[in-house]
Structure 1
Amino acid sequence: MGKKEWYLEYEIHINRPGLLGDISSLLGMLSINIVTINGVDDSRRGMLLLCDNNEQIERLESILRTMDNITVTKLRQPKLRDRLAVRHGRYIQRDADDKKTFRFVRDELGLLVDFMAELFKQEGHKLIGIRGMPRVGKTESVVAASVCANKRWLFVSSTLIKQTVRSQLIEDEYNESNIFIIDAIVSTRRANERHWQLIRELMRLPTTKVVEHPDIFVRHTEYTLDDFDYIIELRNEHDEEITYDLINDQSLFSEDGFGNFDF
């Protein structure tokens, strides 16, 4: 049997000198290797561990629970959020009621790009919605994540650089490894029926689709928010309200075909 990865997270009550050394020595005595270690949040530390069998982890957990200075908060096989927490030193904020909604602010763009890149690497159908106000970095983050995941991105509708509204794709663009990006506001305001037929065709493909402004998308299509696998919210500040009042402003789409909504 091969080695198995585990994620250990513990909260520190008294950060006395030598605490990390004691835990590292304990892991060494149990023949458990530390792959990665980092602080996650202010008073917690996370570790990716590698060991041969579950018995080592059971013994580790039993010993750690006798230590007064720490409390074990997680000991499990690592999830994507665990790996990113150790990598970036902070946890992705997740909606308490809607588990598929993840929240980011602008100074967490690196974490957001890394998160989306990991999603893009997964094969098969995936529908991702991303909410955010103008110029917060939605489209740029999707493009950067595509690059990190070594994927080709295609704008089905967009206002980045110039307004894009596609009504057909060429043959080699129907690739299941491509990332298809749809701006629901552009599609709603500027597109014709051929464009919507293309979107419905893409929705049936086993590939990743990213929809900017998913609330607008479901308002004008037969799809619902339940059809989305992930909803990402990107804000300038934690308390910023995401609204769609601006879509009623005709100046968002200028006469020369260049949009102002999401540069």
Structure 2
Amino acid sequence: MPLLPGAEPYRHQGGPIGVLVCHGFTGSPQSMRPWAQALAGAGLSVSLPLLPGHGTHWRDLNVTRWPDWYATVEREFDLLAKECDQVFLCALSMGGLLSLHLAAERGPAVSGLVLVNPLVRMPGQAHRALPLVRHLVPSLPGISDDVATPGVTEGGYTRTPLHAAHSMAQLTRTVQAELPQVTQPLLLFRSRRDKVVPPPSAELLLSRISSTDVEERICERSFHVATLDYDAELIFEGSLDFIRRLSAPAEG
């Protein structure tokens, strides 16, 4: 099936500092492209992959599972790690979940994380019915385009595929158990008016990780897809400052 407009992956060969950028569930690189291009424009090497099952039709996503998405993230990380001296992770929503799993598994090979409204805990209680409901109906209404800026779309699916959502819920439980293994510096951006991922997700993340270099910044004007919203420049500039600080040569 052909890709939706804007769903194409993005890659830029820059300097010795690499950044892996990861989009969210039912979304595509369209939601992250301006961020990836801002990082590339600053001279960084950037990889923004299209996760399996995304960027075409929700039915394609419904036959994939989280190990499929993670395999793509892991592959792109390894490619960057071969080319670069350091690799950072920048992610939105479920992309943050995948990035945390990678950080827990790869340890110091990951130099730092910049997460925007990361999904660490499934919202509400409806997800508890997924093991049963996914066998009765294939999808429910979508969660895309939670953007405050008028006329902006992230190009996500209009339906949420339930087999894939159930797999994502399984990954949240895996990552929750791994959070104490996350020790890397973390810059967290959280939208106060996020309609997709509520505050308890970020609270759980901050309470369990072992990182000592942690900063949380609030996106006052944006909804969930803050990377395309009013606070996008805040995210772009903040992530660049964070990466530059952690990749600067040590004096001495």
TM-score (norm 2): 0.27
Flag the structure with higher strand content: 1
Q: Which structure has the bigger radius of gyration?
A: 1
Higher helix share: 2
